Amino acid sequence: MLASRYKRNSLEVKSLKGWKGLMDMWILYAKEYLGETQHLKNNKVCVNYNQWFSDANYRKQLADKLNLDFTDSGFNDVSVFGGGSSFEKRKFHGKAENMDVLNRWQQFVDDSSYRTLFSDAVFEYSERIFGHIPGTESLRTKIH
């Protein structure tokens, strides 16, 4: 999520105050996802995007939780909203499953502004939700 936001807002990156707010909000969402908070009380269904993107059975389980008939129709569509993907626009429309969405962060691994956005808390919650994502330790490198 962060890599897409960063790519789309690359001209506004110098304003780290807004990014800090975004990261603080992400941590709040992570706490809710993990059950550390219970702000959403009625029929909450949390979605792990990485798992949703890569696992059709997970998508089916989510449909069941939402009392929906499962269909993957539309899964390969790229929305026109916002101009499509922040990385590929609509180049992958009809074949979105071929987008490398889970590795986009790698494009910014050498970007010191991007790396400063990650606090220890973000790493902790990310690992608890998504498990270890190989290579992300490179984002922990301190910037001097």
Residuewise pLDDT in 10s, the chain (144 residues): 889 888 887 645 556 677 888 899 999 999 999 999 999 988 899 999 999 999 999 999 999 999 999 999 999 999 998 888 989 999 999 999 999 999 999 999 999 888 988 999 999 999 999 999 999 999 986 654
Nearest to 87 by CA among 103, 71, 69: 103
Total-model pTM: 0.86
Domain count for the chain: 1
